Amino acid sequence: MMITLVRAAIALGLALVAWQLLGLVRRLLRRRQMLLSARIIRVLEVAVLWYGVGGAVVALLPEIEWLSSVWRERVAITVGTLITALTATRIVREALSASINKDRASPLAATFMRSIAYAAIYIIALAIVLATLGVNISAMVAAIGAGGLIVGLALQETLTNFFAGLYILLTGKFKVGDYVQFDTYEGTVEDITWRTTMLRPGTRAIIVVPNQRIASSVLTVYRAIESPIFFRLEFLLDPSADFVRAEASLADTHRALLESGNVRGLVDEPLLVRYGDSSSLGIRLMVWVAVENINLLWEARAVVMRTFLEALRRANIPLVILRQ
């Protein structure tokens, strides 16, 4: 009996020592602003105390005379597995909470991912406990694997879009209300579902894009909360054009639009002018114009585009018109 009590006391003592050491590490991490690591260490502090209690209980099991050595081993493995599973779920919770704060991730997606992670952890823990208790889980695992393979093949496209939507929601690269441009599409994000993302261009139409398409594309994102934002206009100029006069004409026209106040949302920011690739057809002149917010983009772009074209023609800047 005395030896058993000593073993239990040693288990508790080691747990307390580990708890104290982890506490020192956690405080050091906090001072260095490593907050996520500090929260994970806090979870481990609680875990080592539970491991200490579990170790003490296991050390006292030999005193239960009717409990065989085989069952004592099974109880020890079960207790250790349950403590490990609970610790893993708390670490997942802390990591996902940090991800939401850092990446603007959707709380709905984070909750869903947390549920998936919890389910996976508990399923693994249950499998370990059942195997420890002598239950044959091979047939169960084989059946689940075969069923998952069949479902995965049948719903391959749907699952691809589903996980792409989950990726979009978790990363928070864009949210409802942001304005996105990719490939030949652009518009304000109306909704992000598990299968599709809905965009509203400058019309009443809705563009429904599969999540896999938008997740694998190069995106330009204008945040709904950002101000000002810039939209791009492109003009194809004849190689013989006077580019200095073209830039001056656009700058003067932009200043006149600002002073007139006829374009809602136009911001007093200098034009950004860049040149694209040249070819036998012409040279691309790209201009970025600032507006207050995404809601005024379409109206402002239409007016500015029309006015800039008229200004270039008045300045006798030769434009290249592409015809089919």
**Residues 78-137: pLDDT tens digits?**
888 888 888 888 888 887 777 666 555 566 666 777 777 888 888 888 888 888 877 777
Check whether residue 44 and residue 103 sit in a common domain.
yes
Task: Please give the residue range of the domain that contains residue 52.
Answer: 2-132
pLDDT band, very low/low/confident/very high, at 324 (cuts 50, 70, 90): very low
C-alpha of 158 from chain center: 20
Q: Please state whether the predicted TM-score (pTM) of the whole model is above 0.75.
A: no
**Residues 270-321: pLDDT tens digits?**
888 888 877 777 888 889 998 887 777 778 888 899 999 999 999 888 887 6
Check whether residue 8 and residue 66 sit in a common domain.
yes
Check whether residue 196 and residue 252 sit in a common domain.
no
Check whether residue 279 and residue 208 sit in a common domain.
no
**Residues 211-266: pLDDT tens digits?**
888 888 888 887 776 668 888 888 888 888 888 999 999 999 999 988 888 888 88
Give me the number of domains the chain comprises.
3
Check whether residue 9 and residue 49 sit in a common domain.
yes
Check whether residue 215 and residue 127 sit in a common domain.
no
Task: Sort strands 283-291 and 229-237 into parallel, antiparallel or unpaired.
Answer: antiparallel
CA dist., res. 200 & res. 295, Å (int) = 11
CATH number at residue 212: 2.30.30.60
Check whether residue 210 and residue 266 sit in a common domain.
no
Beta strands in the chain (DSSP E): 179-182, 185-192, 196-200, 207-210, 220-222, 229-237, 272-278, 283-291
Establish if 264 belongs to a structural domain.
yes
Establish if 323 belongs to a structural domain.
no
Three-state secondary-structure class, residue 43 = helix
Given 132, 158, 192, which residue is the final one in a domain?
A: 132
CATH number at residue 247: 3.30.300.100
Name, in order, each residue with C-beta under 8 angstroms of 14's C-beta and a sequence gap of 6 or more.
52, 55
**Residues 161-189: pLDDT tens digits?**
777 877 777 777 788 888 888 887 888 88
